Amino acid sequence: MTLDLTTTTLPAGDAAAAAAADCLRGGGLIGFPTETVYGLGADAANPAAVARLYAAKGRPSFNPLIAHVATLDAARSIARFDAIALKLAEAFWPGPLTLVLPKASGCTVCDLATAGLDSVAVRIPAHPVAQAILRAFGGAVVAPSANRSGHVSPTTAAHVRADLDGRIDLIVDGGPVEVGVESTIVGCLDAPRLLRPGGVLREAIERVLGFALAEPASALAGNAAPLAPGMLASHYAPGAQVRLDAEDVDPGEALLAFGPVELPGAERAAAIRNLSAAGDLAEAAANLFGALRDLDASGARAIAVMPIPPHGLGEAINDRLRRAAAPRD
């Protein structure tokens, strides 16, 4: 397994979409923008390509991948939609929602990409560059976030290169992403269940459904399937320690701020990034992973994080921050 590839970067456009499709057809790996985060794409039907993807990412191979497609017809050829799943697809696709559904018979997503489960995660991304690549390629593209396993998700092409240079074939640069946190994952295998908060708000989904989402089933006894996406400890971890709900800044700490910065010790912070000085959660989500990367690169021993409200996109932001703060081995 060679990981000493030459990684080409192309600016988004027709030529880049064609090159990305060629690369996928040849079993190659591409970094490409979606509206949530940059994805690391491979041909979902090609087990050798998917094996290369896991190796490039250094991801434990039991963690299943999301299959990205351009159209609802394509989604229906790989997964079975009941009435509720269809309602969610029609309300939120294309967009930052992933549905975990029963595999359709004839589903082309290889077993390695679904970790042998009889369900499959599907998403139609809204980003025009992702759409162009999917249409040029024609098939499903599996894509985790384009970072090394355990690292912070990439929101720019430069982040992708920092993690995966020499490990993938092509990066399509479509500029910084818009949403900044990954897709919301809803399992539709029994009662619709929120498996991961993300870019589509829980409140918006519940409004469409007309009832509340069930909670993750990770606590269900005896269920060994990886139903708790990204629940690996320190899944989104920067190198520095992360201290949540900080009410002051300790010596040597960097500060991840939200809203007006009035906490004691802020003036001596090793570095400061404000997710949104105006206290806007959408702006904060878009800035989250880049800010964590920047503060980590400052060399501070720890990052103090101001409290972020829990509602709306704050649910996904706090979820990622809790993982970043989780104890590491």
Residue 54 marked ligand-binding: no
Specify the residue, 145 or 276, whose C-beta has the smaller distance to Mg ion. 145
Query: Can you tell me the distance from the alpha carbon of 108 to that of 110, in angstroms, rounded to the nearest whole number?
Result: 6
Specify the residue, 75 or 120, whose C-beta has the smaller distance to ligand TXA. 120
Least distance in angstroms from the C-beta of 260 to ligand TXA: 30
Residue 235 marked ligand-binding: no
Q: Mask 21-50, x = binds ligand TXA (CB under 6 A)? A: -------------x-xx-x-----------
Site for ligand TXA (CB under 6 A): which residue of 53, 66, 186, 257?
66
How many residues of this chain bind Mg ion (CB under 5 A)? 1
Q: Does 180 bind ligand TXA (CB under 6 A)?
A: no
Beta pairing, strands 253-257 & 272-274 = parallel
Specify the residue, 227 or 255, whose C-beta has the smaller distance to ligand TXA. 227
CB 208 within 8 A of CB 195: no
Site for ligand TXA (CB under 6 A): which residue of 229, 238, 290, 314?
229
Specify the residue, 17 or 33, whose C-beta has the smaller distance to Mg ion. 33
Q: Mask 108-147, x = binds Mg ion (CB under 5 A)? A: -------------------------------------x--
Beta pairing, strands 30-33 & 97-102 = unpaired
Beta pairing, strands 253-257 & 241-243 = unpaired
Q: Mask 95-114, x = binds ligand TXA (CB under 6 A)? A: -x-x-x-------------x
Of residues 194-213, which lie at the interface with ligand TXA (CB under 6 A)? 195
Site for ligand TXA (CB under 6 A): which residue of 143, 246, 254, 286?
143
Q: Does 36 bind Mg ion (CB under 5 A)?
A: no
Least distance in angstroms from the C-beta of 37 to ligand TXA: 5
Positions in the binding site for ligand TXA (CB under 6 A): 34, 36-37, 39, 63-66, 96, 98, 100, 114, 117, 119-121, 123, 143-145, 182-183, 185, 195, 226-227, 229-230
Binding residues for L-threonine: 36, 68, 123, 143, 183
